């Protein structure tokens, strides 16, 4: 089932689809005439005949489509809504596909990211962070005042943070209260109240203003040590605190439904969904914020996600991202140097994974990327491997976030390696 997109979003995506790609974008310097997404989709050129340069990051459309459907179906079965984290790709085209598959909204990590998605007409945005930037708060107040249908949420975890929001919103009136989620954290973690008492104090401070409304409780489990047991305990704390706030404040509501409880990175979202929906019978809106499921990967998330951990009933996710890199040199029998490096691919959660050689019947078993420089990858392989300068090695990636943020235009391929679309990334 496809869900309709807001008219303004549809209009602005249409304009983006016609926008020519500038030759300053990586991989497009040799192309003349500035191809657009619409033009490429109509022409459907084979990637290796499209005139692009390398290295080049691509997305596999069949994997994207499968991941979207699999996660939407899994979320429905689990009884949770999905607000996928838009910071993963910062792509309005990909986020719109998530909305079309039923996402509740899009999550962002900063007011700048929220402004980017709002510029494309997204109507419900969850800022999963504290907002203390007075200029950003003033902008948000004006945006809320201008469009009564726009929903925005942010976090609070202290009376000081509440005071900044309240003071700025009183100067720049939105005409309605801004919904906030009380964030809880853990010792040594990121933001968030360390104790439930602190959370209750922050909630009472927010509810006492005339500018804010407490809409629920939020947390992030991804910085916890201790694996599944620690994640489960943290989520039970989120759910219990939601009930406590409801009883203490008596007015925990959101514009579109019951109080929100939200957590969920891309590693233990199965545990998050199980624990947040277990509850005490109170009606809440459980929202997952997982983002990396859309592209998945060949490394970190392949191992730690519910799919990789072999959880029964987990969504069947496939890696969608591939980096195409040319062989520059075979300076030693067991070594090839590829023209892609730290400026092109993430390396914080593992090095790229050799998948295949494009257009060649050349196995990659035993091949390993052992190091990266800024523009070079060191590929260890058998001395007699039939790999030559100019060959194209297709690499899988680990941790999509720190690969995607190195690109602004990514081509979308079908399973025959034909270019059928492109997406823009606004980092």
Q: Measured between alpha carbons, how far is residue 206 from residues 145, 146, 245, 367 in Å?
A: 20, 23, 12, 56
Task: Decide yes or no: CATH 3.20.20.10 for domain 123-292.
Answer: yes
407 vs 5: CA distance, rounded Å: 26
303 vs 299: CA distance, rounded Å: 6
pLDDT in tens, 225-259: 889 999 999 999 999 999 888 778 875 555 667 89
pLDDT in tens, 168-194: 999 999 999 999 999 999 999 999 999
| Per-residue pLDDT, 1 | 63
Cis ω for the linkage preceding 205 (within 30 of 0):
no
DSSP letters, 186-231, are -TTSSSSBSSHHHHHHHHHHHHTSSSEEEEEEEE--TT-SSHHHHH
130 vs 132: CA distance, rounded Å: 6
Residue with tokens 């607000």, as numbered in its chain? 83
156 vs 343: CA distance, rounded Å: 35
| Per-residue pLDDT, 256 | 62
| 38 pLDDT more than 70 | yes
| Per-residue pLDDT, 257 | 74
| Per-residue pLDDT, 2 | 85
Residue with tokens 């023209």, as numbered in its chain? 339
165 vs 179: CA distance, rounded Å: 11
| Per-residue pLDDT, 244 | 87
The fraction of the chain above a pLDDT of 90, given in percent, is 91
Residue 174: strand, helix, or coil: coil
Q: Go through the chain and tell me how many residues it has.
A: 427
Q: Where are the domains of the chain?
A: 6-61+296-309+317-427, 123-292
| Per-residue pLDDT, 246 | 74
CATH no. for 6-61+296-309+317-427: 2.40.37.20
| Per-residue pLDDT, 361 | 87
Q: Which residues contact 197 (CB under 8 A, 6 or more apart)?
A: none
Q: What is the mean pLDDT of the chain?
A: 95
Q: Average pLDDT in the 266-277 region?
A: 96
Q: Average pLDDT in the 268-283 region?
A: 89
Q: What is the pTM of this model?
A: 0.96
Can you name the residues that pair with 324 across neighbouring β-strands? 56, 394
């Amino acid at each position: 089932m496809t869900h309709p997109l807001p008219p303004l979003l549809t209009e602005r995506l249409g304009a983006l689809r016609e926008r020519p790609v500038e030759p300053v974008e990586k991989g497009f310097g040799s192309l003349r005439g500035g191809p657009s997404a619409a033009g490429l989709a109509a022409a459907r050129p084979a990637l290796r005949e499209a005139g692009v340069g390398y290295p080049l990051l691509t997305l596999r459309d069949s994997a994207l489509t499968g991941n979207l459907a699999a996660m939407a179906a899994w979320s429905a079965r689990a009884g949770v809504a999905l607000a996928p984290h838009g910071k993963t790709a910062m792509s309005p085209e990909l986020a719109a596909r998530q909305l079309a598959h039923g996402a509740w909204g899009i999550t962002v990590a900063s007011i700048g990211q929220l402004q980017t998605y709002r510029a494309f007409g997204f109507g419900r945005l969850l800022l999963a962070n504290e907002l203390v930037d007075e200029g950003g708060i003033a902008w948000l107040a004006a945006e809320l005042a201008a469009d009564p249908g726009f929903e925005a949420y942010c976090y609070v975890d202290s009376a000081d943070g509440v005071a900044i929001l309240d003071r700025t919103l009183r100067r720049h009136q939105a005409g309605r209260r801004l919904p906030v989620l009380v964030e809880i954290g853990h010792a040594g973690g990121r933001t968030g109240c360390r104790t439930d008492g602190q959370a209750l104090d922050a909630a009472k401070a927010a509810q006492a203003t005339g500018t804010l409304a407490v809409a629920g409780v939020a947390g992030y489990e991804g910085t916890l040590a201790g694996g599944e047991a620690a994640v489960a305990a943290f989520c039970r704390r989120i759910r219990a605190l939601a009930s406590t706030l409801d009883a203490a404040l008596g007015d925990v509501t959101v514009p579109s439904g019951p109080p929100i409880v939200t957590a969920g990175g891309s590693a233990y979202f199965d545990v998050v969904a199980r624990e947040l929906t277990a509850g005490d019978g109170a009606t809440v809106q459980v929202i997952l914020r997982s983002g990396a499921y859309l592209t998945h990967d060949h490394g970190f998330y392949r191992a730690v996600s519910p799919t990789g951990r072999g959880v029964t009933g987990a969504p069947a996710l496939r890696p969608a991202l591939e980096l195409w890199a040319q062989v520059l040199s075979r300076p030693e029998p067991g070594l090839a140097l590829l023209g892609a490096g730290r400026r092109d691919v993430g390396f914080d959660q593992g090095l790229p994974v050799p998948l295949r050689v494009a257009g060649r019947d050349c196995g990659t078993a035993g091949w390993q990327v052992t190091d990266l420089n800024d523009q070079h990858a060191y590929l260890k392989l058998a001395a007699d491997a039939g790999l030559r300068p100019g060959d194209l090695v297709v690499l899988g990636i680990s941790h999509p976030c720190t690969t995607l943020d190195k690109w602004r235009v990514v081509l979308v391929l079908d399973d025959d390696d034909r270019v059928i679309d492109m997406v823009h990334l606004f980092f």
